[in-house]
Amino acid sequence: MSEQVSLTEQPVLRQAAENGASRQNGHAPERAWVRDLADGQQIAGVFGVRERELRQRRNGEDWLRLMVCDRSGAVEAVAWDGVAEFFEAATPGSAVHIAGRFAVHPQYGRKITIEAIRAARDGEFDPADLAEGPSVPVERLESQLRELLATIQNPQLAALLDCFFAADSPVWQRFRDAPAAKYYHQAYRHGLLDHTVSVAQAVSAAAAAFPGIDRDIAIAGALLHDIGKTMAYNDDPLAIDLTDAGRLQGEIPLGYYLVRREVERMDGFEPELAQALFHIVLSHHGTLENGSPVTPATREATLVHAIDNLGGKLGSFDRIERALPDGESWSRFDRGIDSAAYFRSRAA
């Protein structure tokens, strides 16, 4: 199986740099962001490589498809000539300088046609310009997480959560940096922390509105529902992908294993309490076809699933809006929301 490559193993990404030109008089040249590209615009700048794929034309010749990005979004890039050379230059997770032309095709959408591509050089880009991140500072997200942890009254749940989220926990170190997804929502460094805090905050607010919900179980389940993603995704913010464990086992079984392992290490953990948490982790995707081995069958699991699903869909709207050209109100069909998206404020 292929080896997972981390951000720190990409030498070109450790070098402070600019987009398309070196620093002049201590000032960075203004870059053209993915979200601002206009139909017919010539491109000459540095992008991160998320995906790389060789495909074949009908005549049997290869062509190259890339997904490239900066912190404002991602866009497809294609090459019809020089395919073998361009393929070697565009390693997923690396930074590349692309020259070409951006166009918006009525059928195929937004694409860069690559004319030349090479590895980015020293002084050409700033790594912070290439990877997306949360809109809220990560320190604030961490503070909000710890505020939620402090509200847990059940001592067994508080102790269990401390196994995952204590400052010296190895799981916490990974959780803080991990993405929440490859594509559809919070697909960036610290995305899992961002997503989990938003879900747990909403679960906390909603728990009081519905009778019969055990708030401690619901919040603990919300905080742990995606814990398997700490093992299911790699640590490269430019080329987020599933690890071998993520592909072979899946994020939900991995999360169940992590929670169950810690529960079994604790003496005297109440079996019914453990069962309630396990069920939330196993059922939070809601349906069998979406990867949950069981469907929600408790109030707490139903609430966590509903909020998690809502957060994912609303996060998709943010991603779609960043990629939507100025003046357009409707996006193309998007799998994240199973529909096209409409943005009233973007009307020309």
Quick one: 143 and 102 in the same domain? no
Higher-pLDDT residue of 40 and 239 is: 40
CATH number reported for the structural domain that contains residue 59 in this entry: 2.40.50.140
Which pLDDT tens digit goes with each residue over 294-327? Answer: 999 999 999 999 999 998 788 778 777 777 776 7
What are the C-alpha distances in Å from 242 to residues 65, 91, 182, 276, 325?
Answer: 19, 17, 8, 28, 30
| Residue 23 shares a structural domain with residue 114 | yes
Per-residue pLDDT, 346 = 55
pLDDT band, very low/low/confident/very high, at 127 (cuts 50, 70, 90) = confident
258 and 156 within one domain: yes
- Give the integer Cα–Cα distance in Å for 259 and 217: 13
Share of the chain above pLDDT 70, in %: 89
| Tally of domains within the chain | 2
**What is the reported pLDDT for 316?**
78
Task: Classify residue 341: in a domain, yes or no.
Answer: no
Residue 26 has pLDDT above 70, yes or no: no
Q: What is the CA radius of gyration of the chain?
A: 22
Residue-number span of the structural domain to which 27 is assigned: 7-129
pLDDT tens, residue by residue, 138-183: 999 999 999 999 999 999 999 999 999 999 999 999 999 999 888 7
- Give the pLDDT score at 288: 86
Cβ within 8 Å of residue 55, ≥6 positions away = 62, 63, 64, 65
Q: Is 345 inside a domain boundary? A: no
Q: What is the mean pLDDT of residues 81-100?
A: 93
What is the residue-averaged pLDDT of the chain?
Answer: 86
Question: CB–CB of 20/117 below 8 Å?
Answer: no
> Which pLDDT band, with edges at 50, 70 and 90, does 21 fall under?
very low
**Is residue 327 one of the residues assigned to a domain?**
no
> If we measure between CA atoms, which residue out of 131, 205, 144 comes closest to residue 176?
144
Residue predicted with more confidence, 71 or 46: 46
- Better-predicted residue by pLDDT, 79 or 332: 79
Alpha-carbon gap, residue 258 to 160, rounded angstroms: 11
| 328 inside domain | no
- Report which DSSP code applies to 262: H
pLDDT at 118: 95
Is the residue at 348 inside a domain? no
| Tens digit of each residue's pLDDT (9 = 90 or more) over 279-298 | 999 999 998 888 899 999 99
Residue-level pLDDT at 181: 86
Query: Which domain-ending residue is among 129, 163, 188?
Result: 129
Report CA-CA distances (Å) from 177 to 9, 231, 258, 285, 305.
Answer: 16, 12, 18, 22, 23
SS (H, E, C) 198-251: HHHHHHHHHHCCCCCCCHHHHHHHHHHCCCCHHHHECCCCCCCCECHHHHHCCH
Burial of 212 by CB count in 10 Å (0-12 exposed, 13-18 middle, 19+ buried)?
Answer: exposed
Kindly state whether residues 39 and 156 are assigned to the same domain.
no
pLDDT per residue over 182-239, tens digit each? Answer: 876 788 889 999 999 999 999 999 999 999 999 999 999 999 999 999 999 998 888 8
Same structural domain, 118 and 145: no
Please indicate, yes or no, whether residues 107 and 166 belong to a single structural domain of this protein: no
Helix (H) or strand (E) holding 174: helix 170-177
Residue 326 lies in a domain: no
Residue 192 inside a domain? The answer is yes
> What backbone phi and psi angles, to 5 degrees, belong to 35?
-65, -20
Q: Does some domain include residue 347?
A: no
Burial (0-12, 13-18, 19+ Cβ within 10 Å), 265: exposed
Instruction: Tell me what the mean pLDDT of segment 267-275 comes to.
Output: 97
Based on the fold, state whether residues 119 and 160 are members of the same structural domain: no
Answer left, alpha or beta for residue 62, where phi above 0 means left and psi between -120 and 50 means alpha.
beta
For the four alpha carbons of 237, 242, 246 and 252, in that order, the dihedral sign comes to: positive
145 with 222, same domain: the answer is yes
The predicted pLDDT at position 284 comes to: 96
State yes or no: pLDDT of 27 exceeds 50: no
Q: Is residue 331 scored above 70 in pLDDT?
A: yes
Are 98 and 190 found together in one domain?
no
Is the per-residue pLDDT at 328 higher than 60?
yes
Structure tokens, 254 = 């991995």
| pLDDT band, residue 6 (cuts 50/70/90) | very low
Nearest to 132 by CA among 46, 69, 50, 51: 69
Specify whether 155 is located in the same domain as 89: no
Final residue of a domain: which of 129, 164, 183?
Answer: 129
The reported pTM is 0.76
Q: Which residues contact 309 (CB under 8 A, 6 or more apart)?
A: 286
Q: Token match 């497809």: residue? A: 76
pLDDT one-digit tens code per residue, 334-348: 887 888 899 887 544
Q: Which of 63, 64, 82, 9 is nearest to 239 (CA)?
A: 9
Note whether 86 and 69 are same-domain residues.
yes
For residues 30 and 201, what is the distance between their CA atoms, to the nearest angstrom?
38
Tokens of 235: 């640590």
- CA-to-CA distance for 143 and 48, rounded, in angstroms? 30
Look up the CATH number of the domain holding residue 287.
1.10.3210
Residues 228 and 276 in one domain: yes
